[in-house]
Chains A and B, each alone.
Chain A
């Protein structure tokens, strides 16, 4: 059982980044609207408008009123409208008449339905750069920006600042260092309470918080996380603080490691922790962590929420948090397996993004041996609360 749970916790940890990776490619199998590629000639939709606007000849009859230059190996191609086009000799047998000058024989053309409008990246000249097609322009020589670039090597960067000789090398070096630091290297900090709420429930109202704070740059940060709950008039039921180092793995995910200290009812525990947090595809905020206590106990947690914008001011946040244990821990009243699950649904009003009041419901339930321990103490193992609080950051 223990092994199974550990494996489960590990899988949790791995699942999120793995899904992140796979979802990066999620478009592969997806049916992308507007991007279907039918096997038969597709109806020309969107580009038709643009095409019609600027290319009146698009659907007109074949038009070969532009005589090709006599020496042109592409004789017969109506290329008049394509000055300077570098088609390359290998394409000499292409009938390009359909390009711009109207399709030469659209009816017989298996590619007639092939609107290349969207393929400006197409270069017929990739390996044919040597071909001089200026003849196709009639007479004009290529000049200025029409000329292709050469392949001269780039120079090497030199040390020092050019302005050093005016204002002093050291001064400029220092100023440049300062400039760089202030263009991408700044330090930021944030304190965020996703939950800070009053919980109205049977058998005594309580409170709940879940938040974090961080300081650092884009990639490396120090983070504090804290969550906990309790009932008014009683000792704190459960509280914890994590101190973490956070490192950005990729555009969306951070890996975090550090320590967790529990406080509240029962014996306090200290854990080493490692986890990941980030934004999963479809905009799910996700966290998954494992904890190893100084007593050798292993716990796990996974947490996720989603901000569903009803309007641009009203946001509905479904949230789930599940805790796991790899073993029975009698002292803390924790049983192995899924120990507890918390489901919440909160509606907040984001007139201010930084101070958004909310109301909602929260449902908690303990499972397995954890529930047994709790019942033995005479406490409830499940509960339903109406909640009201404030999501805030600064």
Chain B
């Protein structure tokens, strides 16, 4: 659907006035407009207690007046809110009423590995027409979610929110709360979407660069288009699946349905915002209303006020808003490629609506998104440092890296070297003893800027599935996210996040591990280190209790939300013992992210949370065993 026909309350009322009879509305207004006028609201279907039953089955869902097939739980999509209390034991019976295997994974919950819900890693799956009972102690509080880990069921609607109330007083004070589940839904089944992507990876992209655009002076100039064409890279490939097929949902309702959450002016309203989409990175904002982020991925962070944040599939943020006025506010979750948006309203009364902001211009990928972040040639004067060795620099870890943790707070994008000439010679690799590459940047011809130089990624297997290797990936955790660089207001970055509580494990990592996120957009192949899950011979081994620094290097020009099951990891962003702890981290295109993790015993799924990237092979098993090699 497009938002061109979007309508707001005022326009609608004008229309009603013209028609001359409000009572006639239902007769002549399209169904979606009725949705706008009333606003869907009310509490989500909720299940709670020590003994919960979830029935997975086929269901219909009505989005913007259109009825679509879906897979749901207890007859609803999204699945009901599972409300638990920290400290309780959860016993959840999952009845699979489908004719295919199913499963439920408790995303972000620290559970015994055999209860984690991934068929083939945690358990054998829930056979058709059978029941599986999950039992686990609830050891945490916060906002999480659950979803199928079988086939494409997540895309088809099998996802729902989890809220765990703390056993003691909640440090986040709020007068009321709303759970906001953002998702993407298509009339096509998940399997059909994936099939199309495998045959034509640009199938859903209706915002590519065109000849008409070139003549109109839009997007890249010809020279840049030729350069990208020469690389066979499409800079408009920002999202694989787009608004051309998706309707973006809030709590299962389309933008025209306008799900509405109520407030009284001046109240502190807690929004538990969950990205439960299969493939959509959202930019979330409430025009006119700043948001104070208080939780990230379910865990408390020091409050930080922003106007917008970007989050990838599976991430969650809790924000506090305090709407001061007796008026409606629109919350929009704009798809990262700006092909559509999820929309809801915060209002003092049902039936109110505020203006819905127009979709902003879609971003066009840059060389930084291609992993050339270290090279901003437009501003770099190479002439004055002919011997500088960029190759070795790219191997070095700044910010979150191994040796420079303390620098993390420093934003390199603002670092200006005003060094003296003599000291600059120290940067010559011959002087510093930096062995390694010979990029010869002094030649200034970019002579060796090979976009597929496997010497930059020693652990990556060369093959058809690896289209590019980022020559100079940089830590982009201080950036707001693709397409939000110039929005003119405060956008959350990972570096804004500081854990409220001291990290439970503040030991130095005993070792480090680099994992490359690799892919080929032409063949729609995705993998870790160049090997699809179907090809890997061995899991990624950890010792139980071991602390490891993992660096994810994005060798593709798409963002990847990487999720490690059964763990929270601490982002290495210079926050010392107060590093933000997450279960999923969005690695920006051509960028890299480091985190420290303390390994929990068991076998755990580790994958990109873009559903179709995972299905294409971007997945691995993390195997955590005790030192004796036994899963004791």
B5 at the interface (CB under 8 A from A): no
Tell me the chain A residues, 239-255 only, with Cβ under 8 Å from chain B.
248-252
Q: Is the CB of A283 within 8 A of B210?
A: no
B114 at the interface (CB under 8 A from A): yes
Q: Is the CB of A36 within 8 A of B377?
A: yes
Q: Is the CB of B200 within 8 A of A85?
A: no
Q: Which of A144, A156, A166, A182 has its CB near the most chain B CB atoms (within 10 A)?
A: A144
In the complex, the chain B residue whose C-beta lies closest to that of A85 is B407
List A contacts of B413 (CB < 8 A).
47, 50-51, 54, 117-118, 120
Q: Is the CB of B227 within 8 A of A393?
A: no
In the complex, the chain A residue whose C-beta lies closest to that of B429 is A126
A side interface size, CB within 8 A: 138
Q: Is the CB of B434 within 8 A of A308?
A: no
Q: Is the CB of A30 within 8 A of B533?
A: no
Min CB–CB distance A17 → chain B (angstroms): 13
Question: With contacts A33-B227, A111-B385, A175-B124 known, is A42 near B380, CB below 8 A?
Answer: yes
B422 at the interface (CB under 8 A from A): yes
Q: Is the CB of B199 within 8 A of A28?
A: no
Q: Which of B373, B397, B520, B627 has its CB near the most chain A CB atoms (within 10 A)?
A: B397
Q: Is the CB of B375 within 8 A of A39?
A: no
List A contacts of B224 (CB < 8 A).
33-34
Whole-angstrom CA separation of A47 from B382 in the bound complex: 16
List B contacts of A30 (CB < 8 A).
227, 230, 446
Q: Is the CB of A118 within 8 A of B376?
A: yes
Q: Which of A81, A85, A134, A161 has its CB near the most chain B CB atoms (within 10 A)?
A: A161
Min CB–CB distance A218 → chain B (angstroms): 5
Tell me the chain A residues, 85-141 only, with Cβ under 8 Å from chain B.
85-86, 90-91, 93-100, 102-106, 108-123, 125-127, 129, 133-134, 137
List B contacts of A181 (CB < 8 A).
534
Question: With contacts A127-B432, A149-B549 known, is A184 near B426, CB below 8 A?
Answer: no
Q: Is the CB of B376 within 8 A of A46?
A: yes
Which listed residue, B199, B226, B407, B509, touches A282 by the CB 8 Å rule?
A: B226
Q: Is the CB of B432 within 8 A of A84?
A: no
Q: Which of A36, A49, A99, A126 has its CB near the most chain B CB atoms (within 10 A)?
A: A126
Q: Is the CB of A120 within 8 A of B398?
A: yes
Min CB–CB distance A14 → chain B (angstroms): 19
Whole-angstrom CA separation of A133 from B383 in the bound complex: 31
Min CB–CB distance B557 → chain A (angstroms): 13
Q: Is the CB of B416 within 8 A of A51?
A: yes
Query: Of the 9-residue stretches B288-296, B353-361, B467-475, which lies at the interface with chain A?
Result: B467-475
Q: Is the CB of B378 within 8 A of A46?
A: yes
Whole-angstrom CA separation of A225 from B522 in the bound complex: 21
Whole-angstrom CA separation of A353 from B205 in the bound complex: 11
Query: Of the 9-residue stretches A19-27, A291-299, A319-327, which lies at the interface with chain B?
Result: A19-27
Min CB–CB distance B491 → chain A (angstroms): 11
Whole-angstrom CA separation of A189 from B444 in the bound complex: 46
Which listed residue, A91, A125, A179, touches B404 by the CB 8 Å rule?
A: A125
List A contacts of B372 (CB < 8 A).
35
B273 at the interface (CB under 8 A from A): no
Whole-angstrom CA separation of A114 from B417 in the bound complex: 7
Whole-angstrom CA separation of A110 from B385 in the bound complex: 9
Min CB–CB distance A62 → chain B (angstroms): 9
Mask, B612-628, CB within 8 Å of A = 1, is 00111101010101010
Min CB–CB distance A277 → chain B (angstroms): 13
List A contacts of B533 (CB < 8 A).
179-180, 183-185
List A contacts of B607 (CB < 8 A).
183
Query: Of the 9-residue stretches B26-34, B310-318, B572-580, which lies at the interface with chain A?
Result: B572-580
A-B pair number, CB within 8 angstroms? 483
Q: Is the CB of B506 within 8 A of A28?
A: no
B side interface size, CB within 8 A: 163
In the complex, the chain A residue whose C-beta lies closest to that of B485 is A50
Min CB–CB distance B197 → chain A (angstroms): 10
Whole-angstrom CA separation of A68 from B535 in the bound complex: 54
Q: Is the CB of B401 within 8 A of A123?
A: yes
Tell me the chain B residues, 422-460 only, with Cβ under 8 Å from chain A.
422-424, 426-427, 432-434, 441, 444-452
Whole-angstrom CA separation of A102 from B419 in the bound complex: 10
Whole-angstrom CA separation of A110 from B424 in the bound complex: 9
Q: Is the CB of B577 within 8 A of A144?
A: yes
Q: Is the CB of B467 within 8 A of A251?
A: yes
List A contacts of B207 (CB < 8 A).
312
Tell me the chain A residues, 220-278 only, with Cβ under 8 Å from chain B.
248-252
Q: Is the CB of A58 within 8 A of B414?
A: yes
B130 at the interface (CB under 8 A from A): no
B120 at the interface (CB under 8 A from A): yes
List A contacts of B508 (CB < 8 A).
147-150
Q: Is the CB of A42 within 8 A of B379?
A: yes
Min CB–CB distance B597 → chain A (angstroms): 11
Mask, B344-377, CB within 8 Å of A = 1, is 0000000000000000000000010000111111
Question: With contacts A32-B367, A156-B541, A311-B212 known, is A183 near B619, CB below 8 A?
Answer: yes
A15 at the interface (CB under 8 A from B): no
Q: Is the CB of B379 within 8 A of A111?
A: no
In the complex, the chain A residue whose C-beta lies closest to that of B209 is A309
A-B contact pairs, 20 of them (CB 8 A): A29-B445, A35-B377, A38-B382, A47-B413, A50-B414, A50-B485, A91-B423, A93-B423, A95-B423, A114-B384, A118-B377, A119-B380, A126-B403, A145-B575, A149-B510, A155-B542, A162-B603, A163-B603, A179-B121, A185-B534
